[in-house]
């Protein structure tokens, strides 16, 4: 599916920029028997419904014209969200020092979830400050890394 997401990202980039936003991520996933194409956008000060609409309409037209996906799918444009997933090196660089949640595939020390300030990211390995000291999680054990907003 990487080729689909790359093709959609290439189509989305200029549309998103024209709307005054930045492209955060593109997902193409199957859920409950249906395919979903999700484009996540970001903007300083937050993304509004108007921003999503400003991207959705022209991008939908561009997708119809380029037709990079065979078959039907549900198309969505939304904010990356306050609890956005961190996936790319630039995501980790931008949020170094921010509080994040690391979810693991298998429990470590009886836990599968750890929260703490992001100290570093290197080749998929993540270092958090947990319990007053650094804790390293390898790419192989990490299921997901997300921002951890406190309200």
pLDDT tens readout for residues 87-108: 999 999 999 999 999 999 999 9
Q: Does domain 2-79 have CATH number 3.30.300.70?
A: yes
Mean pLDDT by 10 residues, the chain (151 residues): 86 97 96 96 95 97 93 95 94 95 96 96 94 94 95 80
For the chain, residues classed under CATH 2.30.30.180 are 89-147
Q: What is the pTM of this model?
A: 0.86
For the chain, residues classed under CATH 3.30.300.70 are 2-79
pLDDT in the model for residue 2: 56
pLDDT in the model for residue 35: 96
Helix axes 2-18, 49-66, angle to 10 degrees: 130
pLDDT in the model for residue 28: 95
Give CA torsion, residues 118, 122, 123, 129, to 10 deg. Answer: -40
Nearest to 118 by CA among 69, 84, 75: 84
Q: Does domain 89-147 have CATH number 2.30.30.180?
A: yes
Instruction: Specify the DSSP class assigned to residue 137.
Output: E
């Amino acid at each position: 599916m990487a080729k689909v997401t790359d093709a959609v990202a290439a189509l989305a980039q200029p549309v998103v920029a024209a709307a005054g936003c930045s492209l955060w991520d593109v997902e193409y996933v199957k859920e409950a028997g249906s395919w979903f194409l999700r484009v996540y956008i970001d903007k300083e000060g937050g993304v509004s419904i108007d921003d999503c609409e400003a991207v959705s309409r022209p991008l939908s037209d561009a997708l119809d014209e380029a037709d990079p996906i065979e078959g039907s799918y549900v198309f969505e444009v939304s904010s990356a969200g306050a609890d956005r997933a961190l996936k790319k090196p630039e995501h980790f660089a931008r949020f170094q020092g921010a509080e994040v949640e690391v979810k693991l595939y298998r429990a470590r020390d009886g836990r599968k979830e750890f929260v703490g300030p992001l100290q570093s990211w290197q080749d998929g390995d993540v270092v958090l400050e947990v319990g007053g000291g650094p804790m390293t999680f390898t790419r192989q054990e990490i299921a997901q890394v997300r921002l951890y907003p406190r309200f």
